[in-house]
Structure 1
Amino acid sequence: MEAALGQHPHVGDIRGRGLFIGLELVADRGSKAPFDPSLALSARVKAAALQAGLICYPGQGTIDGVVGNHVLLAPPYIISDSEIEMLVTRLTQAIDSSCAMAAAC
């Protein structure tokens, strides 16, 4: 996860324990400025991920109850290495497409 998304321009932080991982989504990685709440970015990522067969848990209001987006991942403990690679690929695609759509708004 860190190798694929650690330097992504819209991932502000990756944290968690074991397989329970959270990703903070930001408009600008350098300043960690959040996306406008009206874009509902975490919901967009969830929808794109679900369309690709990946379930993630979106959250909004991370900073103050209104502003800030994140997604959580909680795969099963029996996930294989190849399934982890697939999860990371699908999540990366969901984030990329959602951020591109948000930028177009």
Structure 2
Amino acid sequence: MKPDNINDIILSHLHFDHTGDVSQYAEAQVLLRPGSTSVAPPEYPTVDESPFDGLIFAHARVREFERSQYQPLPSGAVLNDFPFYKRIDFFGDGTLYVLDALGHMQGRLNI
């Protein structure tokens, strides 16, 4: 598969070890959880040891999901051990869900 064949890149969060090098995928949109850009603004990292990769914002097509895109999970779908309450049905056919996830860092989501 060639980089130009990739349409969407969904990042779970902005720690450098989870972002990769999205510059290779110039045609893809990079999708983040709402509020992610406030956690690691474009001027990050300000120090080399920063766990955040502000270089991600050099990508021309970075955007956050809209809060209005998240829908409640159906009744009974939430397990006690996994408190996910909202999701985005990414393709609209139930094959890929983006889950609003708490913990690890602000701006985290699960796929």
Between structure 1 and structure 2, the one with the greater Rg is 2
TM > 0.5: no
- Which TM-score tier does this pair reach, normalised by the shorter chain? under 0.3
More helix by share: 1
TM, length-normalised to structure 2:
0.25
